[in-house]
Structure formats: C-alpha cells, structure tokens
Amino acid sequence: MARLYSIGPASTDYKKPKIPIEHLRKFGFGAYVNFLFTAPEPIMRYLCQTYKLHNIPIGDSSTNDCYGSVPDQLPVFFSDRSRFSINYSKYSREKSTRQDLIRGDGGLSLSLDSIALENIKGLYEKTKRELEYLESQLSNYDIQIEKNDDELKLHKNAIKEIRTQTQQADTMGVLQDSINSCFKELALSMTQNAINSVNVEVSRQKVEYFDNQIVDLRRLMEEAGETLNLVVDRYNAAMQAAKAQLQKAKSLSNGFTPADDGFDKFRHRAKSLGDNIEQLSAEKENINSRIACLNTADDTEIKEYEDRKNRIEKLGQNIDTINSDINKVSSKMERLHEAWLTPLNDLIAEINLKFGSAFERMGCAGEVGICQGDDEKNYEDYGISIKVTYRNGELLQELNAVVQSGGERAVATAAFMLALQELTPVPFRCVDEINQGMDANNERRIFELIVETTGQQNSAQYFLITPKLVPNLTYSRQLVVQIVHNGLFIEPDRKWSYSKLCNSQGVHI
C-alpha cells in the first residue's frame, strides 16, 4: 500500500538549542551553526531536524584547551581549526572523543551563480507542482478503485438475484406443464362423459320404445286401426327425437358422424362401446355412477376451479415479465463483463510481457495469464495463473508447491513483483531481503535480474537490503555496495578484506 508523507507548517521551536549560547561562552563558543547562514524556512527546518545544526556550536582557539569540559548534550562542536565528535560505546558505555582537523577545499571561495540559483528554484517549484498533481491523481485513483469495488459488489448481488429468479421461473414452468396436463385430461374426461350421456339417453329411449311397442301390439289386437295411427305418430315423434339427438351427438363430436373422416379422434371411443343390450346396460350403469360422483361437486369447488384458472393465467403473465427482465439483465451483464474484462486482459498482458522478459533474461521461460474457471460468469473462480520452467526442453508448468522447489517459487514470486513494480514509474524502490530462503543458484538469478533491470535507461533506483552476498556475483559500474557493521567484536577489514569482494569489478564500496 502506497503511503504519502507531507510536512505541514510548524513553529520555530525546531531552532531552539538544548543549551543557550550564553551558557557556553566560557568554553569559547560564540554562536550555533544555524545562525551563520540564511536559508528558506523549509530548508532551514530540514537541516535543523536532520543534521541538528541548532545544537552544533562554533568556538575559537580557547575551545581546543577545554573541549573535555563541554557538556555531554553537545555531541558535535567546532573550534577555530578542529571538529570534535563525542561517542559512547553501545557495549561498555565508554566515552570517546574524536578530533578532526578542518581543511578548506576552496568551495566557499566560489561566487554565487544567481542564474543557476534561479534555475534551481524554478525546478523546485515545477517539481513541487508535479508532486501535488501526482498526489491529486493518486487520490482520484483511490476513489475510482473504491467506486469500482462498490459496483462489483452490486453486480454480484444482481447476479445472485437473477439466479434466484431463474430458479423460480423454472419452478413455475414445471408447475404450468403439470396444470396443462391436468386440463387436457379433464377435457378428455368431459368429452367422454358427454358421449356416454348421449349413448345412455339413446339406449333409454330404445328401451322405452320397445316397451311401448309391446303395449301397442296388445292394443293392436283390439284396435288395429287406432294402433296403426298411434304407431305412425310415435314413429314420427321418435324420428324427430332421434334427429335431435343425432344433432346433439354431432355437436359433441365437432359436427361429425362415424361416416365422416373428422370422426377419427372419437372412433376409438365409439368402437369400445358394446354391441348388445347387456354391454350397453353395464356401460350405462358405469356412466350413471360417474355422473353421480360428478354431481357431488358444490359451488366451492367450482369457485376453486375458476380461481386456479385465473391464477394460471396470471402466472403465465408473470413468467413472460420475468423472462423479459432476465433478457434485459443478461444484456447488461454482457456489457459490464466486457467493460471489466477488456482492461483486465490488457493489464495482465502487460504484466505477462514484463514477466516473460525477466525470465528470458535469466535464461528461463514464464508467462502470466487469467484463469477463468469452467464458468466465465462466475467471478469468484477468477484468478491469475503463473507458469514457469527453469530447464530447456520442459513445458511450462503452473507455479505450485508440488512441481517447483521453494527457491524456484521464490524466484518466480520476485520476478512477478518486479513486473508489477515496472507498471508504475517511481524515482526509487526498496527491496528488503528478497533473496531470503533461496539457494545460491536462485539468489544469483534474482540478483543479476535486479542489476540488469536497474542498469537500463529510465529505470528506478533500487535499494537492495540483504544479510548476505553470494560469491563471484556480477556487478555493474552503476552499483554501490554499503557494508554495515555492528558489534564490539567485529574483526577489522585487514583480516577479511571486504574490498576484495567487489572492488575487483570496480564497484564503489
């Protein structure tokens, strides 16, 4: 995480010395260093806070005789010709005083170049404005990142809601299919019942007709002429009734008779009826029983049927509305997906270019890509895939704890971090113990990669902090090695000669 430091306005207490100069005149001191020159307030504050100029007194020749009596609060002071510095051992706490003769280098005899000073001031103001602009840009980027995170959360919630609605729509579709099937069965049953009712009525009329015929035959013996007329009248009436029943039956069979081609869907049911009176009677009893069962329905059941029918219609309308909403949301998801994935692919491609270049300079191969998982719309499965190989003739393999060693994984991680850093131009970078846990071969690879990277034009300056150096490393002319010693028992340089470690290649130590 990047950190910004700023220095705000402060009081002049930073120039207040620990001991007033009046108390030091007996030692020959006349003034502190910060009173011997003038400078802009920010520069003076920086010098006092960094180099403690307000606590470094300047003395005369008498200071050379009494420097041992100077208070301990003044670790550094000057006489007319010497610089005195007081140190205390971290281990024995013994006091040691170092006296260095002051020699002039002629630097103060040079005249002030006002034009160069103005140029430096202009450069300072320009740099200050650029710094303010970069700070503003960084703040805007942070706001945009936070905004993008919020939008991503909203999109994830919308996707979850869409999945829930899709599941509900699927459930309603299954329910609708079941209702349609019930309707078809009910319609077929009602049609069959109507046909059976007609057949029963015809059979009943036939039975009644035969009964009347028997009565008429008996009466015919007594009144032949009257019976004949009665038979004719009844015959005509029966014909009219039969025609009416035929029309009724045709209305139930869509206007078709068994002789018509359109009667095919009713023909199977008609053939299933018996050919004799016994079978017809049995069928009649069966139909009457079913009619009796149907007659038990009350108004509540009819109302429930109507309510369910209306509900089915409403559910169908809701399904159409939900399908329309799903299509709209799907289109929006596609647009957002492209708007997010395209710049991400560009960024990963740039990282892959720098990562592959770093591995190529080490004599290896590597690539970085996006891992989308099985479903490209499931953003929780997205990740970054890093594949490397350290030996010629081997295929690239994904970085994991099984295939590569710990040192090889550390090299890949370091190269990936360097590739990320190169995306943002900065004046300098600090790398702390990047070679920790590596073997000598991998440590040499990373060191040479950093040296080669920093040696390129327009590259940032690197501060590489490490507790050790592998022997016979390759150093460049631009490399400076700072060796820090700490401890009372450190051996002197002449016993192990750290200059031989690097100076054979011309490195500054």
Structure confidence by residue, pLDDT tens digits, 141-182: 889 888 888 888 888 888 888 888 888 877 887 877 777 777
Q: Whole-model pTM?
A: 0.38
Domain count, the chain: 2
pLDDT tens per residue across span 196-236: 777 777 777 777 776 776 677 677 767 766 666 776 777 77
Nearest C-alpha neighbor of 315 from the set 181, 180, 185: 180
Nearest C-alpha neighbor of 473 from the set 445, 494, 434, 508: 445
In a domain, 206, yes or no: yes
In a domain, 225, yes or no: yes
Identify the bridge partners of residue 465 per DSSP, sorted by sequence position. Answer: 432
Mark whether 207 and 90 lie in a shared domain. no
Nearest C-alpha neighbor of 253 from the set 185, 189, 191, 186: 191
The alpha carbon dihedral of 214, 217, 219, 222 has a sign of negative
The alpha carbon dihedral of 314, 319, 322, 323 has a sign of negative
Mark whether 279 and 170 lie in a shared domain. yes
The alpha carbon dihedral of 1, 461, 476, 472 has a sign of negative
* pLDDT confidence of residue 107: 52
In a domain, 403, yes or no: no
In a domain, 361, yes or no: no
Mark whether 170 and 287 lie in a shared domain. yes
Mark whether 99 and 164 lie in a shared domain. no
CA distance 370 to 418: 19
Mark whether 87 and 210 lie in a shared domain. no
In a domain, 34, yes or no: yes
Q: How many CB atoms lie within 10 A of CB 269?
A: 15
> Where do the H-state alpha helices sit in 38-113?
41-51
CA distance 223 to 149: 108
The set of long-range contacts for 267-272, using a CB threshold of 8 Å and a minimum separation of 24, is 269/192, 269/195, 270/195
* Boundary residue ending a domain (296, 326, 347): 296
Average pLDDT of 409-435?
80
Residue-by-residue DSSP string for 125-160: HHHHHHHHHHHHHHHHHHHHHHHHHHHHHHHHHHHH
Mark whether 287 and 188 lie in a shared domain. yes
Q: How many CB atoms lie within 10 A of CB 196?
A: 19
Specify the pairing of strand 57-58 against strand 82-88: unpaired
| Domain housing 232 | 158-296
In a domain, 434, yes or no: no
Q: 388 phi and psi, to 5 degrees?
A: -140, 160
Are residues 31 and 58 in contact, defined by beta-carbon separation less than 8 angstroms?
A: yes
* Boundary residue ending a domain (280, 296, 312): 296
Are residues 462 and 476 in contact, defined by beta-carbon separation less than 8 angstroms?
A: no
CA distance 54 to 15: 6
Mark whether 98 and 194 lie in a shared domain. no
- pLDDT of 494 > 70? The answer is no
* Boundary residue ending a domain (296, 316, 348): 296
pLDDT tens per residue across span 319-344: 888 888 888 888 888 888 888 888 98
In a domain, 144, yes or no: no
Mark whether 60 and 170 lie in a shared domain. no
Mark whether 42 and 162 lie in a shared domain. no
Mark whether 93 and 165 lie in a shared domain. no
Mark whether 175 and 98 lie in a shared domain. no
CA distance 230 to 216: 8
- pLDDT of 56 > 90? The answer is yes
CA distance 48 to 59: 19
Q: 295 phi and psi, to 5 degrees?
A: -70, -10
Average pLDDT of 100-120?
68
In a domain, 178, yes or no: yes
Mark whether 80 and 166 lie in a shared domain. no
